[in-house]
Structures are given as C-alpha cells and as structure tokens.
Structure 1
Amino acid sequence: KGVEFEANVMLTDNIDLATSYTYMDMKVTEDNTGLEGKTPIWVPKHAANAWLNYYIYNGMPAGTTIGTGIRYVGETQIDAMNSDQVPDYTLVDMSVAYDLSYLSDSLDGSSISVVASNLFGTEYYSCYDTNNCWFGAERSITANVKFNF
C-alpha cells in the first residue's frame, strides 16, 4: 500500500520547482519462512525530493541555469527479519549549466554543466543484513559537455 505525489511548477518566469513524496507501507503477505508481515529491505516508508532551478535570461550570464535539490530517504530495515533499522538520510545536490546556443545559433541544444552530488559529504549506508553494510556514494563533482549535431 502506498501513495505518491509529484508536482512540477513554474514559480516565476525564471524559477521552476519539481517535488515528490512517496509513502510506502510494504509488507510480505504470504511466506512460509517467517517473513510474513515483515517489511522488505531497502524499502523506506517515506521518501521525498525537491529540485529548484533558476534560469538567467538577460545580461552577461544569460543562458546560465543554477539548480539545487534535496533528497530524503527514510529508515529501512537492516535485514529480512526486521531486527533493526538503517537510519534515514538527507542529501543535497547542486548544479550549474550553460546553454551554448547563447554563444552561437549553431550550438542550439548543446550545453556544459557541473553537477555536485551529496554536496556536503553526508555519510549514509545501506545494508543487506547486519553483516553486510556499505557506505553510500560520497560527494562527487562531475563536468558534462553535451553537443547536438
């Protein structure tokens, strides 16, 4: 059982917002190994995210888009028997992009961007069981170039 909400809205001519929230009450309904009524691993009851973009259309930085977002993943079960929980976590991301068509019409559809994921280096982890846990992705910064031809 669950529900998911999603909204994408232009707040102004320069700002858009994309958000979502998921509530999931997942349980094993039939099982002969003792898992009936248990929540599967890696399934948070609550998850949410939001992403905000600011578009610059005028002046020297015209063609630039600055974005930032937040991702929340709720507690999950540490093992199939639900003996403990993996803590929830929240991650922040950021991006800066430039539309190259502002330099030349021949570059229409082309862009460059820099994206930072897990901007603040939040430590989080996932588990398969109490003996098999691993850290989530550390902070990463990537540069992208996209050319349409």
Structure 2
Amino acid sequence: MQISAVRDALADAARTVVLPTTRAKLTCTGYTPDAVSEPHFFVGEYDVDFDKAYGRGLDIAQFTCRVLVGLADDQATQRLLDAMLSGSGPASLKQALETARGAPGEYALGGAADDLHVMRIQGYRWYEHQATSYVGAELVVKVIGQGA
C-alpha cells in the first residue's frame, strides 16, 4: 500500500460530495494545505500497523482527515458541517468515501488499497489554520492493503 496514492484517492473520493446549492464546491487535498479554500477536506496525520499478515501480506493504516468550514454564519456553517458528517445523503463524506470501496471483489480507492472504513467522527470544534478560525471535525478512516 503506497501512502501517497491512498491520500490522493481519499481526497478524490471526498470531492464527489454534493453540497447544498447555496454553497461553493468542497475543495479537497490529500495533504495538509498551506491555505484553506473553504469548505475544505484534507487528509492529515496517519498511523500504520505493519505486518498484520505473514510475509508483509497486510498493513492497516488509520488516517485522520479534517473538514473545515468558514464562519460566515455560525448556524448555517454548522448545518453545512453536520450535512457533511451525516452517515448518508448527497453531502455525506462517509458515504462518498465508502463508495470508493468499489464493488464486491474490486480493490478500494481505485486499486490503492484492499478496503476502507470510515470508523468515527471526532473533534467537532473550532480549528485555527494559518491564523484563520474555522469550525470543523475529524474523520478517522481505516484503510487496509498489501504490505509488500
């Protein structure tokens, strides 16, 4: 499993969400950006457990992804974030990411991994990024793939 390919594929999958028509399109990056064009999804930190199967057969990675939304209107901003954090619906990041699992028997993330699962949402709070405040949250995504 190549980490860079997984990061890029997660961002590509998140890019498929459909936000309410009154909002700009979600921007997405596989890496922590220097500047945020909100609303923005990015893949941040990750942890990898190597050698979960014999002969480098399986690695398991957990990616902490963040979604940040501007502060133009506190209630509207949080409603938009809530829509992206919902378990289903056109704006659901969970649904968009898990759609990238592919059909049964197919590799996930366009071949970058064997499977993935959005495990949880955490850290719903105010974030500061490059001296600008945003409301946001983290999504923890488990990705499994070949170790070799």
TM-score (norm 1): 0.29
Considering fraction of residues, name the structure with more strand: 1
The structure showing larger relative contact order (alpha-carbon pairs under 8 Å, at least 6 residues apart) is 2
Considering fraction of residues, name the structure with more helix: 2
TM-score (norm 2): 0.30
User: Between Structure 1 and Structure 2, whose CA radius of gyration is higher?
Assistant: 1
